[in-house]
Amino acid sequence: MTTLLVAAHDGAHLKDATLKALTAALAVGDDIHVLLAGDGVAGAAAEAARLPGVVRVLTAEAPQLAHELAEPLAALLVSLAPAYGVLLAPATSTFKNALPRAAALLDVMQLSDVTAVLAPDTFERPTYAGNAVVTVRSADPIRVVTVRTASFRPTPGAERAPAPIEAVAVPADPGLSAFVGEQFSEADRPELTSARVVVSGGRALGSEERFRELLLPLADRLGAAVGASRAAVDAGYAPNDWQVGQTGKAVSPDLYVAIGISGAIQHVAGMKDAKVIVAINKDPEAPIFQIADFGLVGDLNEIVPELTKALG
Amino acid sequence: MKILVPVKRVVDYNVNIRVKADGSGVDLANVKMSMNPFDEIAVEEALRLREAGAASEVVAVSIGPKEAQETVRTALAMGADRGIVIEAAGPVEPLAVAKLLKAVVAEEAPGLVILGKQAIDDDSNQTGQMLAALLGWPQGTFASKLALGTDAIEVTREVDGGLQTVRLTLPAVVTADLRLNEPRYASLPNIMKAKKKPVDVRDAGQYGVDLAPRLTVLKTAEPPARPAGVRLGSVAELIERLNAAGVI
């Protein structure tokens, strides 16, 4: 059987999430086809053709695919799925939205947020906010899988003869949904899920002003993305798309700096795959210190500016 | 317009769950159960639409063990008008839940279904999308804002890196994210009143849906622990360590 890897891309380039999902697809062990759905995907398709293990690249181009809406994207996946044993995509917001729709239309149970591939039909995935890891085997003829990118290292492109690129037919737009607009925050920073360094703040920051005043200069110094705990988001100190944790984003940077974050299990679930974790907290008993490689106990209002200054 | 709100009974948000030593699952004996927090947000949103005059009735439905009635009563205490409980023994996967909900939609003919984006026990994040698929309806997942019109709804969605707004034809399925609203607490008088609201209890078997799981859980394990780190005395020491680790 063959695996269909559904790529995250911006038309011109593949996103880092695709390279991580490729690592999971390679672990499945079958030939890999990569699908690029969108409206103008030539650049990303050329990159996909040079990825290790990829034997064919499929491009699906149509106006209704431009904004990654679930309804036309799921219709496309359903039209392609019968030729594949595994349909696999990174667990980005686009594919968390579209893949379960495709799975239901194929009458299969999806495996969400997979963190390890044990066999083509057997996977590990976190449940209970990461408190329990289950090993699950699928009895369905097609396995529909989303991959937690934080759990896989990227497989980069290689010097190789490019795989053939082939355009596929796009089913008619179901006509149920239309794109109205979008609003993206702070585009000058690295994207949270692919950043090499993440600086994250918790409720102990005390206010939105203080959150920005203390964290943004440190993040700038480190070239870091900014994250937040759910408590900080709930308190209105940070926007929801900064949220790291089971109900937010899972990240796996080289360096994760947790500032004023107690370390609730639901937050830890989203950042425990970081290579090095630093915790700064005034409470020496905070659970975050149990998972941090390096801990500083003290007042974040003093430590964070000192750290920012020392890095300058 | 009628709004259907599916709600799930899950382990309470504040419970520290324990994995059974033999790897057979999570220990749920004598553990506090509550309504899935994302479903509470869904109930609240439906109530606000009714209070604003955009909806006429809010019906809560839960699929699960007998005790799922308590979860439906919680929705009724918040203000839902009536409830449906579909009793099913054992775990029911999102695909089977979606099939049962499709049958309820056929009976109730709601104009909108609002439910949580994911349940905090299995963390699947599938049911709303699957229900929309089976109904052939559009879906507005991870919603942080709704604007309901007469033949369409605009849903602002939490996506990677920001927000996306889509317009969906009605009827539609919407799944609630954290920032859609802050759910109300049920007042004591409303909890008393909820006891008198109608709840229709049915058996899942009557729908003719195949409830057999497609996924077999082979093992349940604790997540691997990170080795304990070190406490440092100063910022200078921290920078030295980070340099040595090659991460700055």
Which of B124, B158, B213 is nearest residue A112 as measured by Cβ atoms?
Answer: B124
HSE on the CB side for B201, CA within 13 Å? Answer: 12
Mean pLDDT in residue range B39-49: 98
For the cut 70, the answer to whether the pLDDT of residue A12 exceeds it is yes
Q: Kindly state whether residue A186 falls inside one of the protein's structural domains.
A: no
B126 to chain A, minimum CA–CA distance in Å? 5
Judge contact between A90 and A59, C-beta under 8 A: no
Which of A113, A139, A183 is nearest residue B162 as measured by Cβ atoms?
Answer: A183
The reply to whether A45 and A144 lie within a common domain is: yes
Which of A176, A254, A307 is nearest residue B168 as measured by Cβ atoms?
Answer: A176
pLDDT at B13: 82
The reply to whether A74 and A114 lie within a common domain is: yes
Write out the E strands in chain A.
2-6, 31-38, 54-61, 86-90, 111-114, 116-119, 122-127, 132-138, 143-147, 165-167, 177-184, 197-201, 225-228, 255-259, 276-281, 294-297
Would you place residue A187 in the very low, low, confident or very high pLDDT band (cuts 50, 70, 90)?
A: low
Q: What is the CATH number of the domain that holds A26?
A: 3.40.50.620
B195 to chain A, minimum CA–CA distance in Å? 31
Of B138, B69, B130, whose CA–CA distance to B102 is shortest? Answer: B130
Residues 130-189 of A with CB under 8 A from B: 130-140, 174-185, 187
Would you place residue A312 in the very low, low, confident or very high pLDDT band (cuts 50, 70, 90)?
A: confident
Residue A287 structural domain? 192-310
Q: What is the DSSP string of B50-94?
A: HHTTS-SEEEEEEEESTTHHHHHHHHHHHT-SEEEEEE-SS---H
Instruction: With beta carbons under 8 A apart, name residues in chain A contacting B119.
Output: none
B57 Cβ contact list (under 8 Å, min separation 6): B2, B3, B50, B81, B82
pLDDT at A260: 98
Size of interface A-B (CB pairs under 8 A): 254
Residue B131 structural domain? 2-244
Q: Is A107 on the interface with B (CB under 8 A)?
A: yes
CA distance B32 to B15: 7
Judge contact between A58 and A26, C-beta under 8 A: no
Q: What is the pLDDT of residues A208-255, one digit of tens each?
A: 999 999 999 999 999 999 999 999 998 999 988 899 987 788 898 999
The count of domains in chain B is 1
Q: What's the farthest any 2 CA atoms get from each other in chain B?
A: 68
Instruction: With beta carbons under 8 A apart, name residues in chain B contacting A174.
Output: 136, 138
User: Taking the alpha carbons of B125, B67, B187, B17 in that order, is the dihedral positive or negative?
Assistant: negative
Q: Do A294 and B93 touch (CB under 8 A)?
A: no
Q: Which two tokens stand for residue A36?
A: 């690029």
| Mean pLDDT, all residues of chain A | 95
**ipTM, 2 dp:** 0.96
For the cut 80, the answer to whether the pLDDT of residue B51 exceeds it is yes
pLDDT at B142: 97
Q: What is the pLDDT of residues B154-177, one digit of tens each?
A: 999 999 888 999 999 999 999 999
Q: How far is CA A284 from the centre of its chain?
A: 32
With residues binned 3-state (H G I as helix, E B as strand, rest as coil), the percentages for chain A, rounded to 5, are: 35, 30, 35
CA distance A25 to A107: 22
For the cut 80, the answer to whether the pLDDT of residue A110 exceeds it is yes
Q: What is the CATH number of the domain that holds A290?
A: 3.40.50.1220
Give the residue from A134, A167, A200 where a domain finishes: A167
Would you place residue A265 in the very low, low, confident or very high pLDDT band (cuts 50, 70, 90)?
A: confident
The reply to whether A158 and A226 lie within a common domain is: no
> What are the Cα distances from residue B88, in Å, to A40, A146, B67, B126, B203?
47, 28, 11, 19, 7
Nearest CA in chain A to B119: A128
Mean pLDDT in residue range A262-291: 93
Which of B126, B220, B229 is nearest residue A292 as measured by Cβ atoms?
Answer: B229
CA distance B60 to B114: 10
pLDDT at A100: 98
| Mean pLDDT, all residues of chain B | 96
The reply to whether A158 and A200 lie within a common domain is: no
CA-based radius of gyration for chain A: 20
For the cut 70, the answer to whether the pLDDT of residue A186 exceeds it is no
Judge contact between B165 and A181, C-beta under 8 A: yes
A214 Cβ contact list (under 8 Å, min separation 6): A201, A205, A259, A300, A301, A304, A305
The reply to whether A242 and A149 lie within a common domain is: no
For the cut 70, the answer to whether the pLDDT of residue B38 exceeds it is yes
Q: What is the CATH number of the domain that holds B96?
A: 3.40.50.620
pLDDT at B14: 81
Q: Do B231 and A290 touch (CB under 8 A)?
A: no
Q: Which two tokens stand for residue B135?
A: 């109904």
For the cut 90, the answer to whether the pLDDT of residue B237 exceeds it is yes
Q: Do B220 and A291 touch (CB under 8 A)?
A: no
Reported residue count of chain A is 312
The reply to whether A50 and A155 lie within a common domain is: yes
Q: Kindly state whether residue A172 falls inside one of the protein's structural domains.
A: no
For the cut 80, the answer to whether the pLDDT of residue B85 exceeds it is yes
Q: What is the pLDDT of residues A120-151, one digit of tens each?
A: 999 999 999 888 999 999 999 999 999 999 89
For the cut 70, the answer to whether the pLDDT of residue B62 exceeds it is yes
B238: helix, strand or coil: helix
